[in-house]
Each structure stands twice: as structure tokens, then as C-alpha cells.
Amino acid sequence: MSRRRSKGPRRASGRGMRELSVRVKTARGRKLSSTRWLQRQLNDPYVQRARAEGYRGRAAYKIMELDDKYHFLRPGGRVVDLGCAPGGWTQVAVERVNARGEKPGKRRGRVIGVDLKAVEPIAGAELHQLDFMEDGADEKVRAWLGGKADVVMSDMAASATGHRQTDHLRIMALAEAAAEFAFDVLEEGGTFIAKVLEGGAQADLQKRLKQGFEKVLNVKPPASRADSAEKYVVALGFRGASAEGKERADETGGGLHSS
């Protein structure tokens, strides 16, 4: 676990970061695949940057890059981070919505992080250990929130099986559960972000999101590894009550139109 400073991550210029490629010797008992993974980690510029700037992982830069482009983490915002371990996304959200109240003249936001694993405390965030896929989990999160959210973001991922289609179906189930929660708690105009994998079985989720949001995009931020199948669905401008009305109309055969 990382050692945390009370005032959050520190920024680095990058000049103190290692620039030389690191080679890892194959140790006795370590698989070749593990050695390759370790070497990639040691030479990954995002991993190096996260260490230098005090973030808990390279994933922090994925949500930064998405927010830099779409501007959904604003001071005063209320954010729910599903699958928050080890805490990189939560750290970024805390900074950008001013959850610690450190930005004079800016509204103070709120960040709730939820994960199956225990997460080391993050100043300004409320962290809860919970299996979001268990019965009644969404009600618990709603109770902790105590109102509406401006952003629901999910980096939840199931343990990989090595079978691509199975892994895809598992992560889509998590994204769909997160989307259902977002429909329940988002404020009108709110934003939903979720990790998905490239492949099939996305049509239902895409259709539901397009009914409920003004704009739905599929984005692969620069911080995502080029060889990874992950991407993020970004749904902007939640329609609120009007989205529920449109969905009911579609289910009964009314309100249909050609595009």
C-alpha cells in the first residue's frame, strides 16, 4: 500500500523520473510472463509518473484525461466511484471536486468510493468495502450517498479467466449494474463513466444509455495501454425523468422514430 500525505498527491516535473529502460532478470520460481509484466511496469512512463506524483496507480491518468476532455469533475460535485481500489480515480475526483475544501471560493464536493477490497484511507473521500454485485448493495450505496450524484464512475473489473469472451461478458455485467445504479441516483445533467472491453454484447447497454443521456461516446484514453482491449463508455447529460418516460414509451411501442 502507498503511504499517503494528508494533502493528497504531489505533482512532479518529470525530471526526476527514470528515463533509462529497466531490464528484469528472470528469478528462480518466477514465470516468464510475470517477468515480462514486471519489466513493463518498471518501464511504463505512467507508472513512473504515478509514483513521482503520489497517485496510487497509472489508472489515475485515465480519469484525468477523460475529465480534461469532457469536464465532468467540477468543484462542488458529488461523485460515486465504483470499483475504486487502489484509489487512483478517487484521488483525482477528490482534487477536482474540492472534496477537502482546499480551494478558496470554490464549492466543496463529496466523493464516495466503493470496492470489494479494503482501500487505504484517502483524505476527503468516504470509502466503503462492499461487493457491489451482492443483493441490496445498490441500496446501501444510495443510503451512504443520501441524495443525488453528479457523477457515477466505474472502473470495476472481474478477475480475468484468460477466456476473452467470458471476461468480456463479466465486465459487461459490471458495467450494466453500474449503469442501472447511475439511472437511479444521477442528477439531471449528470455523467456516467464505465470501463468496458472491445467486442460484442454491448448493444443493450449502448441502447439504454442513448435513451438516458444526451451524448454517449466510446473512448480509449491515452493512458490505456495500446495492447489492452479496454475502453470507456462516457455518457454525458443525463436526461433525468424524461429518460424514464422515453424508456417506457419505447417498451410499449410508442415514441419510436428513425434517425
Q: Domain segments of the chain: what residues? A: 26-55, 58-251
Q: Kindly state which CATH superfamily the domain 58-251 is placed in.
A: Vaccinia Virus protein VP39 (3.40.50.150)
DSSP sequence for 101-165? --STTS---EEEEEESS-----TTEEEEE--TTSTTHHHHHHHHHTS-EEEEEE---PPP-S-HH
pTM above 0.75, yes or no: yes
CA distance linking residue 156 with residue 17, whole number of Å:
30
Which grid cell is 240?
433525468
Spatial contact of 186 and 141, defined as CB atoms under 8 Å apart: no
The three-class DSSP label of residue 231 is strand
- pLDDT by residue for the chain (259 residues), tens only, comes to 444 444 566 554 444 444 445 454 555 555 555 545 445 555 578 788 889 888 998 999 999 999 999 999 999 999 999 999 999 999 999 999 999 999 999 999 999 999 999 999 999 999 999 999 999 999 999 999 999 999 999 999 877 666 667 777 888 999 999 999 999 999 999 999 999 877 655 788 999 999 999 999 999 999 988 878 889 999 999 999 766 555 555 555 543 333 2
Tell which residue, 18, 76, 26, 21, has the closest CA to residue 52: 18
Collapsing DSSP to helix, strand or coil, 69 comes out as: helix
- For residue 149, which of 218, 253, 85, 78 has the smallest C-alpha distance? 78
CB 214 within 8 A of CB 237: yes
The H or E element containing residue 220 is: none
* Amino acid residing at 94: V
Q: Residues 62, 103, 106, 195: which is the catalytic one?
A: 195
Q: For the chain, list the strands marked E by DSSP.
A: 78-82, 110-115, 125-129, 149-154, 186-197, 213-219, 230-238
> Is 195 among the residues known to form the active site?
yes
